[in-house]
Structure 1
Amino acid sequence: MAFQPIMDVEARRPIAYEALVRGSKGECATDILARIRPEDRYDFDQQCRVAAIEGAVAAGLRESGARLSINFFPDTVYSPLACLEPTLDAARRLSLPYDRLIFEFSEQANIGDGEHLKTILEAYHCMGFGTAIDDFGAGHAGLTLLGQVRTDYIKLDMALIRGIDQAMPRRMIVEGVMRIAEKMGMAVIAEGVETIGEYDALRALGVRYMQGYLIARPGFRCLPPGQLPEEPARAVSA
């Protein structure tokens, strides 16, 4: 597992670390997932959850005060509570409170029946977990998905973030999503922030939470602290 910080750019500290699957030769998650057979997805999902908790705690997550964000496949969850047992066992064994965990699913994933996904998220909320929609804006569900389920976070896909400082349409889209999220009580996280221009444009739009190479690359078996650009000096009135 590798871990990448999700930064609160106002408090200038990580609020969470996303656990990212890496191969033995450094292969990215996309390459690994492409090799997983459909019949092995459930076991793979379960093993990744446990590995993420074990790796993050070993790297110092408990002491950091940050949360751990774990990706999951909604279509592999046949029963929310039954499928949580290995995860809960790992958290209890390593003294990681349940409310330190966030579960995120991709908008591009096969979410199947919307009611089933809603049941999963409600069960996770009852356990104290945070939840997030990942890659928002990249799939076909979009706003329809927001009408079906409620999560704590919306993670904007990097395709919306790339070059946002030079793309008025993308700025308008992000601004619109932020207004909707605020009214629904959901926080927005910008993924894939790579340039100062993108960072400044997102800050101007009021985005508080960010993740990307500008801040920190994923750290293998470690929790990178992350670095933020210096905020512009504010004028002080006499």
Structure 2
Amino acid sequence: MHWFALADEFGLRGQLELACLRAALELVPRLPEGSLLSVNVSGPVLLDERTLALLLEQPALDRVIVEITEDALVQDDAGFHAALAPLVARGVRLAVDDMGAGYSGLRQITALRPAYLKLDRSLVRGVDASPDRAALIEALLHYAGRTGGLLVAEGVETRSELDAVRRLGVPLVQGFHYGRPGAPWPVVLPPGLALAEPLVPRAQ
């Protein structure tokens, strides 16, 4: 988020996201059999014509998941439906990220029928000791099951949280309990930009 904040400050957010998306999509032909690539795209960038063109030129869109945050759905209802329709027609799977983070995108979510609903970690944290959170997750599980989607519990960081979401029947989880972030990617720069000097890792 620090890097994207800097990109926003210099008016380069869209270019940086597009460069990251382009680099990510280059991985699709090398994915292990049966695996999918999930990419996060912000609202303004998803509505950019360059993003749509970049995605639609990919030959294997059925192996791509596009993650959008719930707050982005609230900001531009009609725009998202128009932008996502050709991608869904080509096999892109949609995921709503940060579900339950405090926004009100339920109407848009029911219209989009995403393949994945990713619970915000604020709902998952401490679920093992919170009957109210467990009840809400159960309701979302019921909705996902009725619409053919899958619920994903984000931010599972303890064994007790994992046991709790398993008992509830959540089919997919992600979080530090299963694995920390992997090795850094190569440097990704927007077109036309270059580093003034090589990046050297700082000692911790």
Shifted more, 125-134 versus 139-148: the winner is 139-148
Tell me the amino acid that sits aligned with residue 102 of structure 1: I
Q: Is the 8 A contact 1:42 1:77 kept in 2?
A: no
Match of 1:144 among 79, 84, 107: 107
State TM-score, norm by structure 2.
Answer: 0.80
Partner residue in 2 for 1:41: 13
Of Structure 1 and Structure 2, the greater strand share is in 1
Where do residues 1-40 of structure 1 align in structure 2 (5 Å cutoff)? Answer: 30-37=1-8, 39-40=11-12
Q: Is the 8 A contact 2:119 2:154 kept in 1?
A: yes
Partner secondary structure for residue 96 of structure 2: strand
State TM-score, norm by structure 1.
Answer: 0.69
Q: Tell me by how many angstroms 1:165 deviates.
A: 0.5
Q: Is the 8 A contact 2:21 2:39 kept in 1?
A: yes
Partner residue in 2 for 1:118: 81
Which whole-Å deviations, capped at 9, do the CAs of 1:66-97 have from their partners, x for residues lacking one? 101000022234456x53333455x45xxxx2
Partner residue in 2 for 1:52: 24
Q: Tell me by how many angstroms 1:50 deviates.
A: 1.1
Tell me the amino acid that sits aligned with residue 145 of structure 1: Q
> How far apart in 2 are the matches of 1:130 and 1:42?
22
Partner secondary structure for residue 45 of structure 1: helix
Tell me the amino acid that sits aligned with residue 69 of structure 1: S
Name which structure has the greater RCO, CA cutoff 8 Å, separation 6+. Answer: 1
Tell me the amino acid that sits aligned with residue 63 of structure 1: P
Q: RMSD over aligned Cα, in angstroms?
A: 2.3
Q: Is the 8 A contact 2:74 2:108 kept in 1?
A: no
Tell me the amino acid that sits aligned with residue 31 of structure 1: H
> How far apart in 2 are the matches of 1:172 and 1:76?
35
Tell me the amino acid that sits aligned with residue 6 of structure 2: R
Tell me the amino acid that sits aligned with residue 134 of structure 2: R
Where do residues 70-149 of structure 1 align in structure 2 (5 Å cutoff)? Answer: 70-78=39-47, 82-89=50-57, 91-92=58-59, 97-109=60-72, 112-149=75-112
> How far apart in 1 are the matches of 2:38 and 2:46?
17
Q: Is the 8 A contact 1:74 1:111 kept in 2?
A: no
Q: Is 1:155 the equivalent of 2:118? A: yes
Could you tell me which runs of 5 or more consecutive residues in structure 2 were left unpaired when the two chains were aligned: 186-204
Change (3 A) 1:190 1:48: same
Q: Is the 8 A contact 2:73 2:105 kept in 1?
A: no
Q: Is the 8 A contact 2:96 2:117 kept in 1?
A: yes
Which whole-Å deviations, capped at 9, do the CAs of 1:199-221 have from their partners, x for residues lacking one? 11111111111111111111125
> How far apart in 1 are the matches of 2:104 and 2:120?
13
> How far apart in 2 are the matches of 1:207 and 1:102?
19
Partner residue in 2 for 1:10: none
Partner residue in 2 for 1:165: 128
Partner secondary structure for residue 197 of structure 1: helix
Q: Tell me by how many angstroms 1:154 deviates.
A: 0.4
Match of 1:62 among 31, 43, 46: 31
Q: Tell me by how many angstroms 1:144 deviates.
A: 3.2
